Amino acid sequence: MPDAALQTLVDTVRSAAARATPLRILGGGTKEVLARSLEGEPLPTSGLTGIVAYEPSELVVTVRAGTPLAELEAALAAQGQCLPFEPPRFGPGGTVGGMVASGLSGPARASVGAVRDYVLGLELVNGRGEALTFGGQVMKNVAGYDVSRLMAGAWGTLGVITAVSLKVLPVAPAEATLKFECDQAEALRRLNAWGGQPLPLNASCWVEDAGVGTLFLRLRGAAAAVDAACRSLGGERQALAQVAADWIACRDQRLPWFAARDPAQGLWRLSVPQTAPVLALPAGVGAPLVEWHGGQRWVQAGAEHAGALREAAAKAGGHATLFIADDGRSTLGIDRFEPLKAPLDRIHRRLKAEFDPAGIFNRGRMYAEL
């Protein structure tokens, strides 16, 4: 990491902490639409760029937080490797630090794991302006608490990630996507049944268009396994070149289902067990888009349905997150995440007090008072 860039960041954090001035961590700015109203002076990570170390034979890469995600993925692709969790891009400037801080994963997450499962170690600057290192560059690490993975999904509220070491994997040798026409209940039934079989399942997406439901199932793995699965599952095999663009659009929320969202409605993410049945959504709310073999269900709904959506998710054993507020911002008064229960609230507050005692980082990003 460039010493000058790191020192500038450290000095800025120390000054802000002394003045109790909030800072808004800024990478590529591609995920600001996903947040509550952001507070504070911008704290850019644009000076922290570049791949520090990459040994393809070890399947490990260490990269600075401000490095464009596209740059990292291009370097991996040149070696026939990838980030298997398919981090979404909501714009051209997404960074590696933002990828880890948001903890967001793409269509393959249910089969291959989430961002946090691939974080081996990281460097960060805490709210005291201290540059700290956690974890390492190996999978088996028993050096204390797993702080590295704690930062995945913390949305920058505990510190500024300055560098991260990630596990990467080879690109699968074979891939196929199958298409099935079926309603949501039948899609969930099939996905649950297939999940109990030795099939190379990788991703799934069920969507309804003009009243007709369609399930897309992506298979990845050894060529023999993929071909055998295609023969046993049936369905209509899709042209690889065409469907590859569709999966990218699914990852980046550019499918027609997302594009057709009424600006007066917010986008909600309902995280539930894969075995959960079709959810009883409020009257007037359209059919969801279902990913992760049933575990992630996207819903478009207005602020008036917030309570009903959270109740439906809770009854299924999950929770609902306001992912994108409506354009009128009427949902800004609604907690983006589920309100924390008392034990978890105490843990969150203790972590915040330890890592960011002055409360300067991304104030209000996750919860209004944290």
Predicted local confidence at residue 47, as pLDDT: 95
Closest residue by Cα to residue 300 from 322, 280, 318, 319: 322
Per-residue pLDDT of the chain (370 residues; tens, 9 = 90+): 448 999 999 999 999 999 999 999 999 988 888 866 678 999 999 999 999 999 999 999 999 999 999 999 999 999 999 999 999 999 889 999 999 999 999 999 999 999 999 999 999 999 999 999 998 765 555 555 689 999 999 999 999 999 999 999 999 999 999 999 999 999 999 999 999 999 999 999 999 999 999 999 999 999 999 999 999 999 999 999 889 999 999 999 999 999 999 988 999 999 999 999 999 999 999 999 999 999 999 999 999 999 999 999 999 999 999 999 887 555 557 888 888 899 999 999 999 999 999 999 999 888 877 7
Q: How far is residue 234's CA from residue 253's CA, in Å, rounded to a whole number? A: 28
Predicted local confidence at residue 368, as pLDDT: 77
Q: pLDDT tens digit string along 307-352?
A: 999 999 999 999 999 999 887 555 557 888 888 899 999 999 999 9
Q: pLDDT tens digit string along 16-30?
A: 999 999 999 999 988
Instruction: Say which CATH class 3-170 falls into.
Output: alpha beta
Residue 167, C-beta contacts closer than 8 angstroms, at least 6 positions apart: 59, 60, 118, 120, 139
Q: pLDDT tens digit string along 140-186?
A: 555 556 899 999 999 999 999 999 999 999 999 999 999 999 999 99
Looking at residue 332, its amino acid is: L
Query: Structure pTM?
Result: 0.93
What is the chain's length?
370
Long-range contacts of 238-241 (CB under 8 A, 24+ apart): 238/176, 238/177, 238/178, 238/179, 240/175, 240/176, 240/177
Looking at residue 173, its amino acid is: P
Structural tokens at position 175: 């891939």
% the chain with pLDDT above 90? 84
How do strand 41-44 and strand 23-26 relate by DSSP bridges?
parallel
Q: How far is residue 335's CA from residue 106's CA, in Å, rounded to a whole number? A: 24
The DSSP secondary structure of 278-335, one letter per residue, reads ---PPTTPPPPEEEGGGTEEEEEE-GGGHHHHHHHHHHTT-EEEEEE--TT-GGGGS-
The DSSP secondary structure of 139-203, one letter per residue, reads S---SSS-HHHHTTTSTTSS-EEEEEEEE-EEPPSEEEEEEEE--HHHHHHHHHHHHTS---EEE
- Give whole-number Cα distances, 175 to 168, 195, 217, 270, in Å: 18, 18, 11, 28
